[in-house]
A and B are shown apart, each in its own frame.
Chain A
Amino acid sequence: MTYSVTEPSDRQKWIAGFLVIGYALITLMPLLWIIATGFKSPADAIAYPPKVLFEPTLEGYVNLFTTRTRVTEETLASLGEPTTWYDRIVRQYDMIIAGPSRYGERFLNSVIIGFGSTFLSVFLGTIAAYAFSRFRVPLKDDLLFFILSTRMMPPIAVAIPIFLMFRQLGLNDTHAGMILLYTAVNLSLSVWLIHGFIEEIPIEYEEAALIDGYTRFQAFYKVVLPQAATGIASTAIFCLIFAWNEYAFAVLLTSGTAQTAPPFIPTIIGVGGQDWPAVAAGATIFLVPVMVFTILLRKHLLRGITFGAVRK
């Protein structure tokens, strides 16, 4: 196909740039606000009118990772001078650090459940998609439609039955249960996305490998997978983002051992109510893994989102 391309004028470039930057600012504003709040003192965080310029402090981060107890002035005096910077922050409020908070555990839960379910979704999705694409599967179209239909209802609509099932099976508040649930929700997306990518890979590549003396599995592993890497990577990003950010099921089905970070973060209570800087700090740190993952797979993402519409 040919397009007639005219080089945009400088003015057009300026307008386009202005629009893009403006749009980026609007969408990034809440994110910037959260990051900034993480570095505010509790008083600054709830100040009205809101403070744009403030004295940054790591109080929110200290509160996020610790539990603290209030002590009497005598006890405080008997402890002597605080030895670390975080002790110093806590002492201002006549408190001492009693131990680590549960944020670390919850964060780890999120990592285990998020990446675990992403791996399973992509793994199962890939082999299912390969089979749908390459073998004569009876009722193939109906099965694919059935898989897609699991997505037609908001998952939370079946929250009660799932809650009851999980209770019956003893999956409540377990890592396995959450991984299973997120995998089930993501699987339809991953089967469909990866199926599209595998369909685009000419079957001749595998046949060439079969002729060259490789088994079907080797052909799949050495020829199809590298070709489908782009699609698999972008599918993995979508799956991870869902599992990582999921809130409703996590609130409903987890409370302790397997609780993920999203339901935990809003429950962080400080002195005299919600500790907003700590909540914001928790949200900021929570953003990091998914951002890193996305940046690592970024080069695949663009091609992935266009669903292979761009051909070399």
Chain B
Amino acid sequence: MAQIIVQNVRKEFGAFTAVQSSSFTIEDGEFFMLLGPSGCGKTTTLRMIAGLELPTSGEIIIDGEEVSQKPASKRDIAFVFQMFALYPHMNVRKNISYPLISQGMPKAEVKKKVEEVAQILGIEKILNRPVGGLSGGDRQRVALGRAIVRDPKCFLMDEPLGALDAEFREHMSEELRALHDRMRATTIYVTHDQLEAMQMGDKIVVMNHGVVEQFGVPQDIYDWPATMFVADFIGSPSMNFLRFHGMVGGGQDAVELNGSRIAVPVSRDGAKGDLALGIRPEHIRLSDASGYRGEVLATEYLGTNQVITINTANGDIKARVPSTQSVQVGEKVGLEFDPRAVTLFDTESGRALLSEANERVLSHG
């Protein structure tokens, strides 16, 4: 298994730039998520790591070796495709043994290896079946089997759960994560599903329009987004933005919002102009003591808690509060924001302003 370093990698298709100068490092044994909306360049990035696309510029280092211009067959990596891409003219056993045959491994050894892998994945019984009639989950397992059978340097997975139905996805994602924990294989996993990324990943890279927006552990990304895009993309409902025009100076620990003073983590950056105060729904409390008020537009009951939409002078926001709290539509409520969980953004650049709270996460770039 190996460490993978992606350095200033860029990919252009004619005039279109799919990936702009991206850099990140995947440590040995990590389960690494490439997350972003469709068309953000995450799949292209993965394909460049695999060698299915060659980068226009930049370096890809797998296990200490620069491989950016090497063909896929020379990189010793395994790839799980979204549609699995099992060879339709071969049965399960042949599909799994195919990568070993290309290495010229003796037949007896191939057989042994395939059976080992089949046992790990619980597919011993279907080894001699054609792949055509398999269920989605079994196809997935066969695709995984083909990937793990030859102990590659890393696994690359392109939305491998995308083709499964919702119920089964949950189950398969647990199975995948368990498999990873057992094998400790460096894995890069592409997904557009932020929940999947947070659930499964050791680390996440969030991409948008070919740019790496942020890279870190799920909790840091959730709590301290580097950009408004990340704040909005991650979390459901996503982070609220209370937009205001004003000024923040370095060392300031509060902003003024529609005449109310709102406490924020001590700011390290100064900015003025169009700003936004970002706060997650669960960090908003309803409190009659607060001077900052809004009108309840709607409530959404979700079992243990409820999500209420509130119209404020700075735009509509959503708050997640316990279901036990009674809230009526049309009611005017006071809002209190947890000062430790606030991020300020410069809306023009979309970037978060550094503060005492997020500098640990964001200052490494």
Chain A residues near B (Cβ < 8 Å): 202, 204-205, 207-215, 218, 223, 226-227, 312
Contacts and interface: CB of A to CB of B under 8 A. Distances in A.
Contacts of A205: 85, 87-88
A215 B81 CA distance: 19
A212 B132 contact: no
- Taking each of A212, A226, A312, which has the highest tally of chain B beta carbons within 10 Å of its own beta carbon? A212
Nearest to B85: A204
15 contacts: A202-B85, A204-B85, A205-B85, A208-B81, A208-B85, A209-B87, A210-B51, A210-B71, A211-B52, A211-B77, A212-B102, A215-B71, A215-B73, A223-B87, A226-B89
B85 A213 contact: no
A213 B89 contact: no
Given A202-B85, A207-B52, A213 B73 contact: yes
Interface string B295-332: 00000000000000000000000000000000000000
Task: Please tell me the size bucket of the interface on B.
Answer: 20 to 34
Closest 10 A/B residue pairs (Cβ)? A204-B85, A213-B102, A212-B99, A208-B85, A210-B72, A211-B79, A226-B89, A204-B81, A213-B73, A211-B72
A213 B79 CA distance: 11
B83 interface: yes
Interface string B91-127: 0000000110011000000000000000000000000
Contacts of A211: 50-52, 72-73, 77-79, 99
B98 A212 contact: yes
A210 B205 CA distance: 26
Given A209-B87, A211-B72, A312-B132, 4 more contacts: A205-B88, A208-B81, A208-B87, A214-B73
B361 to A, nearest CB: 35
Contacts of B132: 312
B81 A207 contact: yes
A227 B88 contact: yes
Contacts of A212: 73, 98-99, 102, 146
Interface in B57-80: 71-73, 77-79
Nearest to A225: B89
B88 A207 contact: no
A188 B195 CA distance: 51
A205 B89 CA distance: 11
- Taking each of B78, B83, B86, B88, which has the highest tally of chain A beta carbons within 10 Å of its own beta carbon? B88
Interface of B: 50-52, 71-73, 77-79, 81, 83, 85-89, 98-99, 102-103, 132, 146
B102 A214 contact: yes
A207 B81 CA distance: 9
A227 B73 contact: no
A211 B76 CA distance: 8
B79 A207 contact: yes
Nearest to B52: A207
B249 to A, nearest CB: 53
Contacts of B102: 212-214, 218
A226 B89 CA distance: 7
- Taking each of B72, B98, B102, B132, which has the highest tally of chain A beta carbons within 10 Å of its own beta carbon? B72
B348 to A, nearest CB: 39
B83 A207 contact: no
Nearest to B103: A213
Contacts of A215: 71, 73
Contact of B89 (A207, A214, A218, A227): A227
A308 to B, nearest CB: 13
A202 B82 CA distance: 12
A226 B72 CA distance: 22
A207 B72 contact: yes
Nearest to B133: A312
Nearest to B73: A213
A207 B146 CA distance: 13
A226 B90 CA distance: 10
Nearest to B152: A211
Contacts of B50: 211
Nearest to A214: B102
- Taking each of A213, A226, A227, A312, which has the highest tally of chain B beta carbons within 10 Å of its own beta carbon? A213
A210 B83 contact: no
A209 B90 CA distance: 13
A311 to B, nearest CB: 12
Contacts of B83: 202, 204
B13 to A, nearest CB: 9
A312 B102 CA distance: 29
B97 to A, nearest CB: 10
